[in-house]
Amino acid sequence: MINSGALTPSDKKSIEENAEILLADTPVIMDVAYTAKKLKWAASTWAGVETLIKEIGKEKPPSFTITRMGGAFNRFMAEYVLGYVLTKERSIIEVAKDQEQRMWNKKKYSHYRSLTDLTIGILGVGEIGQEVARLCNASGMTVIGVTRSQPSEEKRCPAVSQYRTTSELAEVLRDSDYVCNILPSTPETRGLLSGDMFSHCRPKKSVFINMGRGDVIDEQSLVKAIREGWICGAVLDVFQTEPLPEESPLWNLPGVIITPHIAGVCLTNQVAENFVENYKLYCENKPLKFQVDFQRGY
């Protein structure tokens, strides 16, 4: 496996002239996309593919198959969502701050909701979204799944109480206590929640959880939604610009929790398991899992 900081000129030349299979970080794959002579399959260690699509898909897709990391992040990201739902509902951060001040505010924190009374709208019900749905459903939450079109019966996740399409997004925002974005970055998803879209959250004053891609909403729209009280807070792991600039107003907005893009970390053993599973399929001339689709943008 070659990471983006370890590619030497001799490594690059060797890949270009000899490699049939390449397991590497996305920048390495981009570097040899049009010069590798024998490459048939490149396995990226990254889950996101927007950089690939932007840099090497803008003219024509490469002649070889590219796969992304899939499956490894699912449980971690589902636990991230449930963990921060509980953090919000039980005021864990506020209680910790009170403890630092030796403050005993029993009355303040004695009113909270059960997870069984809450609805979460999940934007994007792929492999990660389905794992989020399973964990939230197991905790008692009602799950609304949002997809581009209604899935067939065999593709529906049993943990999703109801499926709605992106054309029904306003209704989903109105009905959800939590709105979780796991959508990839594509022309259809960029800016999907921008403008006054979050005004539909006013009935429940939802909490927005974003661990998909930062460009689903521009910062100005998100700041406005919080200041206007359309949503009562946000848990943000991804941003349009990373690291989040120090001057961003998001750092100090009430109800906002910021994490440094760590909802789903990549562990070496999981990269290995993902690669081995696909390598067996490759050896058997079967379709590889998690193939990048340059036409669909993910």
> How far from each other are the two terminal CA atoms of the chain, in whole angstroms?
22
Ranges assigned E (strand) in 1-97: 21-24, 41-44, 65-67
Q: Which pLDDT score is estimated for 142?
A: 98
Residue 292 lies inside a defined structural domain of this protein: no
Domain of residue 15, CATH code? 3.40.50.720
If one counts the domains in the chain, the total is 2
Residues 50 and 79 in one domain: no
Contact (Cβ atoms closer than 8 angstroms) between residue 211 and residue 181? yes
Residue 5 has pLDDT above 70, yes or no: no
Residue 298 lies inside a defined structural domain of this protein: no
Residues 78 and 203 in one domain: yes
Residues 116 and 250 in one domain: yes
Residue 58 has pLDDT above 80, yes or no: no
Residue 71 has pLDDT above 90, yes or no: no
* Each residue's pLDDT tens digit, 209-235: 999 999 999 999 999 999 999 999 999
Residue 37 has pLDDT above 80, yes or no: yes
What's the whole-number mean pLDDT along residues 269-276?
Answer: 91
Residues 134 and 193 in one domain: yes
What's the whole-number mean pLDDT along residues 129-151?
Answer: 97
CA 194/CA 179 separation, integer angstroms = 14
Residues 134 and 271 in one domain: no
Residues 271 and 173 in one domain: no
Residue 288 lies inside a defined structural domain of this protein: no
Q: Quick one: pLDDT band at residue 49, thresholds 50, 70, 90?
A: confident
Instruction: Output the pTM of the full model.
Output: 0.88
Active site amino acids: 213, 261
Q: Print the domain residue range for 221.
A: 74-258
Residue 1 lies inside a defined structural domain of this protein: no
Q: Looking at residue 151, what DSSP letter applies?
A: P
